[in-house]
Amino acid sequence: MRIYCEKDYDAMSRRAANLISAEVIRRPDCVLGLATGSTPEGTYKQLVAWNQRGDFSFKEVRSVNLDEYRGLAPDHDQSYRYFMQKHLFDHVDIRPENTWVPDGLAEDPAAECARYDELIRSLGYADLQLLGVGRNGHIGFNEPDEDFMKPTHVVDLAENTIDANARFFASRDEVPKQAFTMGIGCIMAARRVLLLASGTNKADAIYNAVCGPITPRCPGSILQLHNDVVLVGDEAALSKLIEAGVCVCG
C-alpha cells in the first residue's frame, strides 16, 4: 500500500484528482469505479476544472458507481445518480451511455444485483476503483458483518451509517434504510484501488483498515490483501497512522 499524507482536504483532493486524471491519460478508455459522499467532492471539482481546461478528456471513459439507495429515483436530489450528475457527469465530456449506477427503483432487487455484477464483469472490472471509508470501516455500503459479501447485494444500512447520512436529508426518518452496493468481490477485482479519507472522524477507521486484523467487522481491512492500493488522506484522517509510525506527512 502506498500512502500519501496531505496537509488538508484541498491537498488531498488535488492528489486524488491527479492520480485519476493520470489513469485516464494513460488509458483513455479506462473503467473508473466511482464513489459518492462528501469525501470525493473536492476531487470531482478538480477533475471538472482540468477537463474543462482541456487537460484531458473523459470521452472514452466508462464508469461504474459503487452503490445507490434502494427506493430513490435517479432524479431524487439525494440519489447517487443525481450526485454524480451534479458533481461530475454534467460538467465533463463523458458520454452518458458510458456511466452506470445501480437502479434504486428496480422491482426485482436480486435481478438488479445480478445484472450489475454481469455489467462490471463485461467491462473487465475497474482499472481504478475510488473508495471512501465509513466511520465503522464500511467501503461502498458493505457494512460490518460476519462475512465478506462478494457479489453486488442489497444491504440493511447500519444505524451509525444512517446517522452519518442524515445530514443530507430533511430528517433522519427520510434516510433510506437499504442500499444496493457493489460487493467486496468486484471491489477487489479492480486493478488499482484509490482510498480517500479526510477528517479526524475517519482516523480510527483508517487505522483499523490499514493496521488491524482482516475481518468483515471492518470491511475496509480486506484491502490489505489487494496488491495495488493507494491511500490518500489528510493529516487528521491519517493521524493514528502517523502516531504509529506507519506514514509521515510533509
Catalytic residues: 67, 136, 138, 143
Burial of 183 (0-12, 13-18, 19+ CB in 10 A): buried
Letter string b/e over residues 201-210, b meaning 16 or more CB atoms within 10 A of that residue's CB: ebbbbbbbbb
| Short-list 226, 229, 227, 204, CA closest to 217 | 204
Query: H/E/C letters for each residue in 87-114?
Result: HCHHHCCCCHHHEECCCCCCCCHHHHHH
> What span, in angstroms and rounded, lies between the C-alpha atoms of 150 and 185?
4
> What span, in angstroms and rounded, lies between the C-alpha atoms of 193 and 125?
12
